[in-house]
A = this chain, B = another copy of it.
Amino acid sequence: MEKTFSLWKQQCLGKVDLSRKSCVDEDIEHVVFLLNSCEEYFTTSSCSGRLTLIDGVTDSCGVQKQNCVWLFVSHQKCKPEDLMCGLARSRADAVLKFEPFVLHVQCRQLKDAQLLHSVAVNSGFRNSGLTVSKTGKILMAVRSTHGMEVPLTNNGILMVDHEYIHFLTKIANQKMEENLRRIQRFHQNFQSAMSRGQVQKQQIPNTDISEELQNPSLRLMEETQEEKSKDRKNKRTVYKQKKSGDELQQTDACCADGSCGELDLEDCLDLFS
């Protein structure tokens, strides 16, 4: 498995980038570089986050069909005029979407994926999760739900006024800023986790590193006091236990089949993250 993983990594990172842009987004170059420099990981796809205005026929399922027109796309903040220009070209049903940072990482072993998953969730990417394929590949998808999706035109007719577009642009830009903050948090938390892993390796030779990394006394970078008050869910460090009963009552979740004691990482799986 070790040899296979190294081979997979070599093959993957040696291939041509098949994305539209053919390169990694600037705002996450440091994240991708950091992960790929670790022998336990390699990235397979990524996006720093984006604002898109897509024009397409919305079928009776409320789903935009595949053959859509991209009226506007940006990985940075935008201005109301950008959206207005795009909307002026709408001939069908235009929808504005903000989609946050997403990253797929192949991991050498399950414990590596668990560590990365923990870092992702604690950095605010609460919809992250693993995939274990039948070929033995272990993938960790870093995902968040802090998005936005707003229908704006119907058969090419604008359904809102310019004041609303200004209002929407401001909110979309705020989400983009929060997205960048979470990316930084993820980068720093991951660096901390890996550094502590290295320190442990040097101090205690021949110790199973996965057990060391699971030591609850290890702390990852926590947010500043200011940030903590903004998002209470990010107060948790990686291995701190969540009080499932209290938390369930405080979350937005309206349904649960019951709570199970002793939950740890999976406690972070609030129904609606």
Contact = CB atoms under 8 A, between A and B. Distances in A.
Interface of A: 8, 11-21, 23-25, 32, 43-48, 50, 52, 58-63, 65-66, 73, 99, 102, 104, 106, 110, 113-114, 117, 127-135, 137, 139, 141, 143, 145-151, 154, 159-160, 163-164, 167-168, 171-175, 177-178, 181, 214, 230-232, 239, 245, 248-250, 252-266, 269, 271-272
A266 B62 contact: no
A48 B50 CA distance: 29
B177 A254 contact: no
Contacts of A128: 129
Nearest to A172: B62
B159 A263 contact: no
B127 A245 contact: no
Contact of A133 (B14, B143, B265): B265
The listed residue with most B CB atoms (<10 A of its CB), out of A129, A249, A250, A255, is: A255
A98 to B, nearest CB: 9
A16 B258 contact: yes
A159 B161 CA distance: 9
Nearest to A138: B266
B131 A131 contact: no
A231 B127 contact: no
B259 A62 contact: no
Given A19-B248, A134-B265, A254-B50, A141 B129 contact: yes
